[in-house]
Structure 1
Amino acid sequence: MELVYKGKTKDVYALENGNYLLKFKDDVTGVDGVFDPGANTVGLQIEGAGKAGLQLTKHFFEILQEAGIPTHYVDATIDSAEMIVKPATIFGKGIEVICRYRATGSFMRRYGMYAKEGQELDGFVEITLKDDQREDPPISGDALDLLGILTLAEYEQLKHLTRQISSVVKTELLNRGIELYDIKLEFGRGENGEIMLIDEISGGNMRAYKDGVYIAPLDLEKLIVN
């Protein structure tokens, strides 16, 4: 295996057969020791977070596969916190797509003059650039097209896939009495140009609440999978 990328929460290795191996780590994003899925820095380390994140990711990716939704998922080994994925090309230098069902986190930091904490947002889709230096600025569909990051048609497809995937996750959580506030997804183009979900779906990239109380990433994995 050849290390090709060292990320905040996982490392990426190239395999001889053309696929890639993602090694999940116990690092999670946050600020000043407080977890925040929207943060662009590693804020803390939680023992077991890597395996828990992969367990939940495997669970959701397999549900999406059964539903015929395109993803890069091939296989996963929980004990070693490793996932095999198909190759994908990212949009530009990377974008993140957030689906918001309630106002919280960075949405409130940006729009708190108008929004109220916990306000219903009806699956609002927001795209941000992966740019730590500029604190992941939000970007419109027109700007994405203008800058050559993706076309307007791809933008609409991205929004549709985001709502479709987020709805699957939201329903899965609701079946266990858990409410999804927001979720952060990543997409790429497969070898045939098809847009597909990449990266992960774990407690580390969503905010979920049960009876009005926030659920930490490791606790969420236990509630969903175990």
Structure 2
Amino acid sequence: MNRRRKIYEGKAKVLYEGPEPGTLVQYFKDDATAGNGKKHEIVDGKGVLNNRISEFIFTKLNGLGIPTHFVRRMNMREQLIKEVEIIPIEIVVRNVAAGSLVKRLGLEQGTQLPRSIIEFYYKDDALGDPLVSEEHITAFGWATPPELDDIMSLAIRVNDFLTGLFMGVGIQLVDFKIECGRLYENDMMRIILADEISPDNCRLWDVKTRNKLDKDRFREDLGGMLDAYREVAQRLGILVETDNALTTGPRLVQ
């Protein structure tokens, strides 16, 4: 990607100009971060796994008519995506009590919530991505009320799909974070799903053992982060065991 102009670099991905107008190339890095970048390590292979897992999920969502920025995977670390105007809000959907919800409300981790809860966080690392309300979002012009309706509708549809997808392979979807953007096509604008969906931004627990298969293994110094990501990919059918798996390990399905 050295020949292409860098548009933006985040903690886990880099965006470059795309091969044609209205497109970008999204590159997945091996960086693992927590605490808004305060904790940082390089985990070899993480970017490859996240690229493939996110490709798999976004392809399924596109097939269901849920609009996303994903066009196609270009190679092991890069995706071609549609260029969107990112809305500066992180949307978190919670099904089970974990993470900051436990700390804020004094809930026991693992408590099944009465219903799925949608929370909004203002995207600003310097402020620690603070929790905000719909009133904040509309008052400060980050999104309009109709856009928020579209965002919440997308979040609910994605949650329904992901819950079933992961439960089908013995994984409980505890919570996840998504981002949305405005896609401009001619004179039309619509809200679509952007960023990625991977173990970096989902909490995933094994249904039987409650073993964590996500970035909490890095946040909580549990170890085995890459193995957990491989486990998710393998269960989803993205990784297959080779005949000589004992010597080479699983391989990525092309």
Provide the TM-score with structure 2 as the length reference: 0.80
Q: What's the offset of the Cα at 1:16?
A: 4.2
Taking the TM superposition and a 5 Å limit, the aligned residue runs for 1:80-99 are 81-91=77-87, 94-99=88-93
Superposition deviation, residue 157 in structure 1? 1.8
Supply the RMSD in Å over aligned alpha carbons.
1.4
Deviations 1:6-61 (A, max 9, x none): 1100111012412100110011232xxxxxxxx42253222111010011111011
Matched, 1:64 2:61: yes
Q: Which has the higher contact order (CA 8 A, sep 6+)?
A: 1
| TM-score, structure 1 as length reference | 0.90
The one-letter code matched in structure 1 to 2:111 is: Q
Considering only CA atoms, is the larger Rg found in Structure 1 or Structure 2? 2
Residues 2-17 of structure 1 aligned to structure 2 (within 5 Å)? 2-17=5-20
Among candidates 108, 118, 140, match of residue 116 of structure 1: 108
Structure 1 unmatched runs, 5+: 31-38
Structure 1 moving runs of 4+ over 4 Å: none
Higher mean alpha-carbon deviation, 208-217 vs 59-68, is at 208-217
| Matched residue type, 1:21 | V
Residues 1:187 and 2:180 aligned together:
yes
Q: How many residue pairs are counted as aligned between the two chains?
A: 213
Which residue of the other structure, out of 93, 100, 103, is the alignment partner of 1:106? 100
Q: Does 1:202 align with 2:198?
A: yes
Q: 1-side partners of 2:43 and 2:89: how far apart?
A: 25
Amino acid at match of 2:26: L
For residues 150 and 127 of structure 1, the distance between their equivalents in structure 2, rounded to whole angstroms, comes to 12
In structure 2, what is the Cα distance between the partners aligned to 1:106 and 1:221? 26
1:223 equivalent in alignment to 2:235: yes
Structure 2 letter corresponding to 1:116: E
Contact 1:54 1:78 in 2 (8 A): no
Unaligned regions of 5+ residues in structure 2, if any?
A: 214-227, 240-254
Name the CA distance, whole Å, in 2 between partners of 1:195 and 1:85: 15
Identical-residue share of aligned pairs (%): 29
Determine the C-alpha separation between the residues in 2 that align with 1:162 and 1:3.
29
Shift of 1:131: 1.1
Residue 148 of structure 1: aligned partner: 141
